[in-house]
Structure 1
Amino acid sequence: MVTSAPENPQNPADALPKSWDPSAVEAELYQGWVDAGYFRADPTSDKPGYSIVLPPPNVTGSLHMGHALDHTLMDALTRRKRMQGFEVLWLPGMDHAGIATQTVVEKQLAVDGKTKEDFGRELFIDKVWDWKRESGGTIQGQMRRIGDGVDWSRDRFTMDDGLSRAVQTIFKRMYDDGLIYRAERLVNWSPVLQTAISDIEVKFEEVEGELVSLRYGSLRDDEPHVIVATTRVETMLGDTAVAVHPDDERYRHLLGTTLEHPITGRQIPIIADEYVDPEFGTGAVKITPAHDPNDFEMGLRHNLPMPTIMDKSGKIADSGTRFDGMDRFEARVKIREELAEQGRVVAEKRPYLHSVGHSERSGETIEPRLSMQWWVKVDGLARAAGDAVRNGDTVIHPASQEPRWFAWIDNMHDWCISRQLWWGHRIPIWYGPDGEVACFGPDETAPEGWEQDPDVLDTWFSSGLWPFSTMGWPDNTPELEKFYPTSVLVTGYDILFFWVARMMMFGTYVAGDEVLRDRGERSGGEVSPKVPFKHLFLHGLVRDQFGKKMSKSRGNGIDPLDWVDRFGADALRFTLARGANPGSDLAVGEDHAQSSRNFANKLFNATKFALMNGAVVAELPVRAELTDADRWILDRLEQVRIDVDEAFEKFEFSKACETLYHFAWDEVCDWYLELAKVQLADNGPQAGNTKVVLGVVLDVLLRMLHPVIPFVTETLWKVLSGGESLVIASWPTAREVPADLDAARRIEDMQKLVTEIRRFRSDQGLKPSQKVAARMAEIGAADLTGQIPSVRSLARLTEPEDGFAATASVEVRLSRATVTVELDTSGTVDVGAEIARLRKDLVAAEKELAGTSGKLGNEAFLAKAPAPVVEKITARKQIAEEEIARINARLKELGQA
């Protein structure tokens, strides 16, 4: 425990508050960093560039735990690189979130009984911009609360003028290259939003529906007929075929024939297609090409008609039946009833559990719908994006995610990029009065009388340009020169297939662009503009403490700002970073946050104690003048620096945090501070050395912790060092001093000896503060003479006086000798407890002896085991035998022979 020293009004510790209260300092500290310009990137700097672009959160949203994890890890990377001497750009921004934003504003209008049509396109878009200005900045305030060291002067929005220019530029280039085309294809259609939506905006849920088996053709068993099963009876109005497998003998006689549709009266053919599974159901399936993805592909193969029998709102339309005008779900019931009256419902299974796609935004069931849309031809783009990873231009961390990347990128379908919305980047296609079609770029104007396509682009189209559009592309800018390609993209593996794939496709597509090509040539080929980022770090999902996915429906979501309020931003950040292993999910709960808060408190108390006792940051004394404890902690500090650097470079945030946590708590606070107290007590030259060592250790430790927990480290370091700010302080570098292995051995032996004595005291029920007279035998043989003051202080042992009579002893086997500590515990030792402790130790020793003896008696093991392994087990067996002999002897002394 860290104890308090007498107050000294001139002591630097007085500049610190009595205790650590994050809420009292975080906001002011952060604003100070921003005002000082620490986070502003200078593209004209001579420093090497390091850049990250923030995955743009939706303008409608607020930070959730996934965001908080993203931001913590990016902030840690950029803060460390800034300290290492890089010119760092962490570029913030937000996504216009077409569907989500338009939906929010439309809901506001609906409160007053208005729709967007009441205002018209231009006025409605003005209202969306008004909403964005008034309510869209929530997430920026939350980013400041967490401590994001972003360059706010470069904050971007996906519908800024500059980004709009980039969107129009790349659209025209791809259109002119034949990579963008218009075609009637099947899309995910939202009847509520009345637009096509992205795959990522479709969430599949298990629902209880019905499986109805229907009879097509004759009702007589001896006449041509087939039985098909469907969960969507209403789509039968759009059936244009029944398909069977070509090798299915049951239906071979029907191939090439037609059957009358039970309701429309159309003749529909029986076709053969290998897609059909003859083992599933009856082996026959109804084909509705305009309302099912698999049926659509089959329709293309067999040149089938593709009638659309639903309108944009999901109502039956143009079917030529009495069901026109009915909602699709009402029609499902009515059509089934009519078929039942005809005697065509052969079987019904209800409830029938199956997976159904739902709109993430509006919640309704998605309708696969044939629709005229704009598409990106992805074959070549996806191949280039895949090759970029295969060739090592972009490195995925962890490498275990590479197969998922290739499985997706190598099997992509053409991308539907048009949305039937008003808010977004309007598609730059214009139609002339005589049927002309043309694409106009940002510096071109359509002829008078031409009309622009009403659709807007998928939000992922503009966000896919994010790494270079935010730096001024297609213009040649200093930012592109300095910071592109970006150094690393940090994101969750769950959007690997959507946003990341699109950025990679666009990035590799524009690699031949003159601006970017010149960028590579000017760097002498050292910088490749082929990819938008050199490293792709994929972290897992944040789950609750039981490992379950956080969701509103489960009620287990955690608001990261709630943790900031209760525990401080550092506690939130450390909790998330400490659990962040590449590609793995992390489970967090309130206990984790409390533990992180306790860690911040521990650092605060330890540093304040050091300051109260004169710790200073200065040049280290000559190594020969330092104690074993000083050399040991400095050597451990250097090894920790090496381990932390390696972990950060591999994006192993959890390992870096664990290393720092255990070094700070277990070695600095639990051991070195206690040893320092002993050394400080002599008030001689050694005390002065210890003050410097203590200051240097804390200085380096706070520097290494700063990227993850910036607030408490900044507060402590400024007082400790007198420096301006840790944000611009230098990152610790190597100390070219060989480690003192003898000092490490002596300290480790001392720790073991103290630990065993403390364990004995605890078993005896002695109070931690109670001092006991003791004599230590063989301490010199163990090479621990210099550690005697520390052992006595830490184990609460006093020098024996005349007439000392030992009543108990503890034998501790150390690296060079077995030290016997004889204690006078008369009147304090619980004999029964001592016997119980000895018997417990005896059981453990006998178990160790049995295990080692078994291995050494196994001929097969001895034949395969390397000699060092056998030697180690032999030594363990000998130690166990000695322990058993010692314990039995002590039990005999206590009358337990």
Structure 2
Amino acid sequence: MLDKVFDPKSAEPRLYAAWEASGAFAPTNDPEAEPFSIIMPPPNVTGSLHVGHALNNTLQDVLVRFERMRGKAALWLPGTDHAGIATQMVVERQLALAGNINRREMGRENFLAEVWKWKATSGGKIVEQLRRLGASCDWSRERFSLDEGSSCAVRKVFVTLFKEGLIYRDKRLVNWDPQFQTAISDLEVEQREIEGHFWHLAYPLADGSGEIVVSTTRPETMLGDAAVAVHPDDERYKHLVGKGVILPIVGRQIPIVADEHADPEKGSGAVKITPAHDFDDFQVARRHGLPMINILDEYAHVNESAPQAYRGLDRFTARAKVVDACDALGLLRGTEKIRHMVPHGDRSGVVVEPFLTDQWFVNAEVLARPAIEAVVEGDTVFAPRHWEKTYLEWMRNIQPWTISRQLWWGHRIPAWFGPDGTIFVEETEEEAKAQACAHYGRDEPLVQDEDVLDTWFSSALWPFSTLGWPDKTPDLKRFYPTHTLVTGFDIIPFWVARMMMQGLHLTEEVPFKRVFINALVRDASGAKMSKSKGNVMDPLDLIDEFGADALRFTLTAMSGVTRDIKLSRQRIEGYRNLGTKLWNATRFAQLNSCTRETTFSPELARMPLNRWIVGETARATKIVASALVECDFSEAADALYRFIWNVFCDWYIELSKPVLNGADSAVRDETRAVTAWVLDVTLKILHPIMPFLTEELWAETARLGAPRGHQGFIMTAAWPQLAESLVDPAADAEIRLIIDTISEGRSVRQELNIPPAARPLLLVVEASETQREALTANAQLIARLLRVADVRLVNAVPPGAVSYVIAGATLALPVAQFIELTTERNRLTKEITSLGAEADKLAKKLSNQDFIARAPEHVVEDTRDRLAAAKAGQAKLESALTRLFAVLN
């Protein structure tokens, strides 16, 4: 006999260890099995399981478990990412705390040894945490983005693209993170609104005839100015184009140029041009052949290109000093306080500096073309489909991808420099030396590029490098292209787009056929989770409290097409109760000796109640399967919840109790067999979402009487294939009539405050002959569940009775003797008025455009939800009042 409650703390580790030890996570070796593959988005080795990981990996696991049960060769390949900047940042911080150790003092090799040591002992905890979630990935195939296979693929790709002219080295402006002293991509830059100033500075004309005023938020960069630009159509300055100004402080003469970059409506209409420190100015300089003077070093300190008094100063210290100097020279024409957007590094949090430096780039525009076409043509589809717009907008406006990083942790760029600066790009140093020898006619010393590749460069190869590419491995042949990618919308440009570009270019196939974009998890009020707000929900804490199944079902049920998921402990507790409900239903089956003989088939059921539940089971199985095929996870979870809680555990078990306690042994035995069969199917279709509970119950129900084919785990059992013919319309109509009669009758009792002890009659006023027969045949059952004295056939609704209609049949409950009608009318009227006032207040709030514009998104959404609830409550009470008026009149 089952224990009274399911104990996830003891069951989950035991069940997971058994699954993993059995090898059940690996795809079947059956060559006839259709392959289904998912490549896990690799979590960073610096990370721990957060709610976003829990959602993303739960959905992947649901798909894999479902397809495994459908007989496919299901591969979910796991792995972790080395996460270049993030990991180096963590280790550097640890070394600093351990003894103020600096990586540059340690040297590259010693520092990397420390990183590998950290990765081996402390990194990758998330892998073990994923096991706690129930992730059924094939751990025997686990990969790491810096393992030898990945490194081989990265070198191959870099060399291939370089020799095709798609990777090149250039001196360009990049986003520079002064804290990490490395270039970062546009996607790693976060725009933040901060307080700042607009300074208006006068630049004297070189001929002494006057001055021109420029406006800037970054006066320190004037030390590297190359020109002043005015719009070619600006009448105020046409006579100055071609003349020169004297750059204050520096004393250098720079030209005035005409360029459409200058906005006549902004500030004075004249702008300073600093090509080495502004992306727009860089383009102006290229158009006009201006020099590019970098006045900052990699730490954002002023370098030797600036006047002596400023060298070595931090950029912000230099800013204040430049403003003071201009003021002292009488050239400061005004200062305005402003709020403006300033770029920050998303990892370091410091202000990013446009920085002129030599970097490696990918010609992303060329690679993007087939990747755009693949989505437009439907070779890869997004779900929900509206995310295609985000993908296509990014790809159609793509810029060169800066792939070099001035870090030590990562894939070293396979490029070597000769003594004259010639670059040799090969997969190995030996090949580079051979190429250099052919070039120079003799051996020459080579120096490998110090930089490493952007983490996303290796991540872009993940779908095929993990399967053994560039070798033509059996896994690559069988499982590539992969089927579904489950990921977040925030990394569509970071990762999805780049995988599409690299996959199509290098394998000539899309890397995945479908991209499912999961939502963002927020707290119960809709606010983004953050440690500073104190609203972070640790999934491991939630698993400890409620069990993995409850968390998994909650996340699955809430993962509809909306952008945000509002997660609360109350929701998780509610879905845990679903598991408890099924656990108790299994105990009920055990207590009532519900077993299914091996010869049983659901088509053999004859009793209407049993034919009804067989049809409902077939219907639920079809809905769940169809939903999971379409990645409609919330629909699958909703269908399961409705079927398990309402249909099976509530109505069928309740309606079957008199049968199981009755004297008719044939009907009793059929009901026992049907109950066992329904329980079998229910466990199977629930398993992908609630694997632990269902596996535990599967093992237990295998011991219920005669053998029922429970060989091995439920996770490897076949998905139920149930014919639509199992749905019996006649049985469906009969049992639905009984259920609706009881349900609506209970609602009437509740709405009108009829005391629980009151036992009115249930009157059948108008009904078809079939309905009359069904209601009278089940009168005893209806009387017990609806708390009525009896079911009677009458010709009219008597005075003092409230009527309701079910499937065309008119039923009535005489209630006048059980309630004070006037008092009840006054109560309902008061509650309707109160709800109406609340609805009006909320509607007025939502009609205020200022509220819609200024209030946080989750506050607006919560207000809409409250309005909908108020209106629904008002409508329900108005219906009850209408019924009551009918009694009064």
Q: Which amino acid aligns with 1:286?
A: K
One-letter amino acid matched to 2:322: I
Determine if the alignment matches structure 1 residue 495 to structure 2 residue 487. Answer: no
Which residue matches 1:754?
742
SS at match of 1:375: strand
Taking a change above 3 Å as real, the CA distance of residues 104 and 301 of structure 1, as seen in their structure-2 partners, is same
Q: Determine which of 807, 825, 830 is the counterpart of 2:819.
A: 830
**Structure 1 residues 466-475 or 435-444, which shifts more?**
435-444
Match of 1:692 in 2: 673
For the residues of structure 2 that align with 1:834 and 1:295, how far apart are their CA atoms? 79
Name the CA shift for 1:287/1:763 in 2 (closer, same or farther; >3 Å).
closer
Match of 1:789 among 757, 780, 792: 780
Determine whether 1:374 maps to 2:360.
yes
Q: Which residue of 2 aligns with 1:813?
A: 805
- The letter for the 2-side match of 1:648 is L
Q: Distance in 1 between matches of 2:330 and 2:662?
A: 103
Q: Deviations over 1:355-410 (max 9, x none)?
A: 11222222211111011011111222011111111122111112111121111111
Of 130, 133, 137, the match for 1:146: 133
Structure 1 residue 120 and structure 2 residue 99: aligned? no
Aligned residue in 2 for 1:362: 348
Change (3 A) 1:587 1:884: closer
Partner Cα separation in structure 2 for residue 798 and residue 391 of structure 1: 66
State the partner residue of 2:199: 212
CA displacement, residues 189-213 of structure 1 (integer Å, 9 cap, x when unaligned): 1111111123333222111121111
- CA 1:617–1:274 in structure 2 vs 1: closer, same or farther (change >3 Å)? farther
Q: For residues 800 and 348 of structure 1, do their structure 2 counterparts lie closer, same or farther at Cα, with a shift above 3 Å needed?
A: closer
Aligned to 1:879: none
Report which stretch shifted further, 368-377 or 293-302: 293-302
The 2-side partners of 1:453 and 1:341 are apart by: 46
Residues 617 and 721, structure 1, Cα contact 8 Å, conserved in 2: no
1:477-556 superposed matches below 5 A: 477-512=473-508, 530-556=509-535
Could you tell me how far apart the structure 2 residues matched to 1:609 and 1:443 are? 71
Aligned 8 A contact 2:214 2:272 in 1: yes
Structure 1 residues 657 and 630 mapped into 2: Cα distance closer, same or farther (>3 Å)? same
Give the deviation of 1:609 after TM superposition: 1.7
Quick one: which of 732, 735, 741 aligns to 2:720? 732
SS of equivalent to 2:195: strand
Return the offset for 1:248.
Answer: 1.3
- Aligned counterpart, 1:861: none
**Farther off after superposition, 652-661 or 114-123:** 114-123
The separation in 2 between residues aligned to 1:883 and 1:303, in whole angstroms, is 81
2:87 corresponds, among 74, 94, 101, to: 101
Could you say if the C-alpha distance between residues 624 and 473 of structure 1 is closer, same or farther in structure 2, counting changes exceeding 3 Å? closer
How much does 1:716 deviate?
A: 1.7
Q: Is the contact made by 1:778 and 1:820 (CA closer than 8 Å) also made in structure 2?
A: no
For residue 800 of structure 1, report the CA deviation from its aligned partner.
Answer: 9.2
Letter in 1 for 2:454: D
- CA apart distance, 1:617: 4.1
Q: C-alpha offsets along residues 690-735 of structure 1, whole Å, 9 cap, x if unaligned?
A: 1222222222222122111111122222222452222101112231
Deviation (angstroms), 1:764: 7.0
Residue type of the alignment partner of 2:354: P
Shift of 1:768: 4.6
Once structures 1 and 2 are overlaid, which stretch shifts more, 33-42 or 642-651? 642-651
> Among 577, 581, 588, which residue is 1:609 paired with?
588
Paired with 2:753 and 2:332, the residues of 1 have a C-alpha distance of 81
Is 1:109–1:115's contact at 8 Å kept on the other side of the alignment? yes
Equivalent residue, structure 1, for 2:547: 568
Name the residue aligned to 1:90. 76
Q: Write the distance in 1 (CA, Å) between the matches of 2:526 and 2:688.
A: 27
2:11 corresponds to: 25
Partner of 1:558: 537
The AA in structure 2 aligned to 1:793 is R
Residue in structure 2 matched with residue 344 of structure 1 by the alignment: 331
Structure 1 counterpart of 2:449, from 447, 453, 456: 453
Looking at structure 1, the residues matched to 799 and 603 of structure 2 have their Cα atoms a distance apart, in angstroms, of 42
Once the two structures are superposed, residues 708-766 of structure 1 have per-residue CA deviations (whole angstroms, 9 ceiling, x without a partner) of: 11111222222224522221011122314163223222223222321343345446766
What whole-Å deviation, never above 9, does each CA across 1:53-73 have from its counterpart, x for those lacking one? 111111111111111111011
The one of 698, 723, 726 equivalent to 1:717 is 698
Displacement of 1:443 in angstroms is 9.0
Provide the secondary structure at the position in 1 that maps to 2:277.
coil
Aligned partners of 2:306 and 2:293: how far apart in 1? 11
User: What is the CA-CA distance between 1:117 and the residue it aligns to?
Assistant: 2.4
Structure 2 matches for 1:359-438, cutoff 5 A? Answer: 359-438=345-424
- Report the CA distance shift for 1:786/1:373 in structure 2 as closer, same or farther (over 3 A): same
RMSD (CA atoms): 2.9
Structure 2 equivalent of residue 135 of structure 1:
122
Query: Share of identical aligned residues, percent?
Result: 44
Go from structure 1 to structure 2 and tell me whether the alpha carbon gap of 1:807 and 1:31 turns closer, same or farther (over 3 Å shift).
farther
Q: Describe how 1:59-70 pairs up with structure 2 within 5 A.
A: 59-70=45-56
SS in 2 for 1:182: strand
Rounded Cα–Cα distance in structure 1 between residues aligned with 2:215 and 2:682: 68
| Distance verdict in 2 for CA 1:887–1:115, change over 3 Å | closer
Look up the match of 2:857. Answer: none
- Counterpart of 1:664, as a letter, is I
What letter is aligned with 2:779? Answer: I
Distance 1:296 1:631, change over 3 A: same
Following TM superposition, by how much is the alpha carbon of 1:157 offset from its aligned partner in structure 2, in angstroms? 0.5
| SS state at 1:276 partner | coil
Deviation of the 1:260 alpha carbon: 0.9
Assess, with a 3 A threshold, how the Cα gap between structure 1 residues 458 and 583 changes in structure 2: closer, same or farther.
farther
Number of residues of Structure 1 aligned to a counterpart in Structure 2: 815
CA distance in 1, matches of 2:483, 2:349: 38
| 1:742 pairs with one of 714, 727, 730 | 730
Please tell me the residue identity of whatever aligns with 1:500.
Answer: V
Deviates most, 179-188 or 614-623: 614-623
885 and 25 in structure 1: CA distance in 2 versus 1, 3 angstrom threshold: closer
Aligned position for 2:842: none
Q: 1:276 to 1:830 in 2, by over 3 A?
A: same
Does structure 2 retain, via aligned residues, the 8 Å contact 1:757–1:810?
no
Residue among 680, 699, 721 paired with 2:660:
680
Report SS of the residue matched to 1:149: coil
Output the amino acid matched with 1:562: D
Say if 2:454 is the partner of 1:475. Answer: no
How far the C-alpha of 1:885 sits from its partner, in A, is 11
Q: Supply the distance in 2 between the matched residues of 1:149 and 1:550 (Cα, whole angstroms).
A: 27
Tell me the equivalent position of 1:629: 609
Offset at residue 323 of structure 1 (A) = 0.9
* One-letter code aligned to 2:84: G
User: Is the 1:777–1:821 Cα contact (8 Å) retained in structure 2?
Assistant: no
Deviation readout 1:79-125 (Å, 9 max, x if unpaired): 00000000111011111111111122222222312212232211221
Partner of 2:628: 648
Change in Cα spacing, 1:796 to 1:119, as seen in structure 2 (3 Å) is same
* Residues 1:335 and 2:331 are matched in the alignment: no
161, 164, 168: which is aligned to 1:181?
168
1: CA distance, partners of 2:348 / 2:762: 76
- My pick for the range that moved more, 16-25 or 306-315, is 16-25
Shift of 1:492: 0.5
SS in 2 for 1:69: helix
* Cα distance in 2 for residues equivalent to 1:81 and 1:178: 42
